[in-house]
Amino acid sequence: MTTDATQPTPYVPAHTETPRMPDRPRHVLPPNACDGHCHVFGPYDRFPLQHPSSYAAPDAPAARHRRMLDTLGAQRGVLIQPAPYGTDPSALLDALAQGQGRLRGVAAADPGVSDAQLAALYEGGVRALRFVEARDPAGRLFPGSVGFDQLPVLAPRLKAHGLHAQLWAPCDVYLRHLPGLARLGIALVIDHLGSLVPSRGPDDAVFQLLRGLLADGGIWMKLTVCRVGKAPDYADARYLHDAFTQANPDQVLWGSDWPFVRMGDKAPAADALVDMAWEWLGDDALRHKVWVDNPERLYGF
């Protein structure tokens, strides 16, 4: 949603990939469990991309996403706007409407978005805007992304409309931006365990910053382990997962990251991720917080 007069040309990918679908997990998720990080793409004849994708476009429409949730035993889900859709929320809003209350969304918008458009996003089930500070070797933002520098401009309006912000960047970027962004007075959700590098260990400055802000209630953390750990067991990322859940169990969220873009044949099985998280979380009280209570509170289910 933008007032920019230069609109991208809709782009229908010539080839798509069918995403890996899960089996039923060994463990039964608690009632109203939420998969807090997924994406929908297509159908491309109705919802063409706004920018050519830098990865193989998945065949991941709303109905397939709901089947994935049903197989996992998750009654709720959160859908994140993929960068190739830019600031066009059509596919996202359609998926949220099909979800009939079981889904919430994270959209993308630049400062040109109107207050009427922000209100419409909220009414359609959107509860946050996503800001991405990932750049190509020439220093350009990935096509379709809204950078961190736009968040301070939008923050007062997000707050007025009941929206929070979700952030994704390479880990070292947070050192420059996050201390200031954390003072904006809105909830900040950090994607993918802060994109940390597990081999840096617990003395890593970015890890220390994120853990400290989480402990103080300044951020929320997505426990999307498959984006930082080494498959198949992600054991190298276990200490990050545990440190964040211990720092503030009331502000951590679980997500599968289905349909696992950029991962190709290395994509994990979402049911295996559920079973791993079940074992890592360790007890029913923490499982209920991570899968039910925390997303319910943040996204307003």
Catalytically active residues are 257
d(CA 146, CA 153): 12
108 burial class (0-12, 13-18, 19+ CB within 10 angstroms)? buried
| Backbone region of residue 30 per phi and psi (left: phi > 0; alpha: psi in -120 to 50; beta: other values) | beta
Is 221 strand, coil or helix? Answer: strand
DSSP string, 22-43: P---SSPPPTT-EEEEE--B--
Regarding beta strands 126-132 and 164-168, do their DSSP bridges make them parallel or antiparallel, or are they unpaired? Answer: parallel
110 and 87 Cβ atoms separated by less than 8 Å:
yes
Taking alpha carbons only, the member of 42, 47, 52, 51 closest to residue 19 is 42
* Sign of the CA dihedral with 246 first, then 250, 252, and 256 last: positive
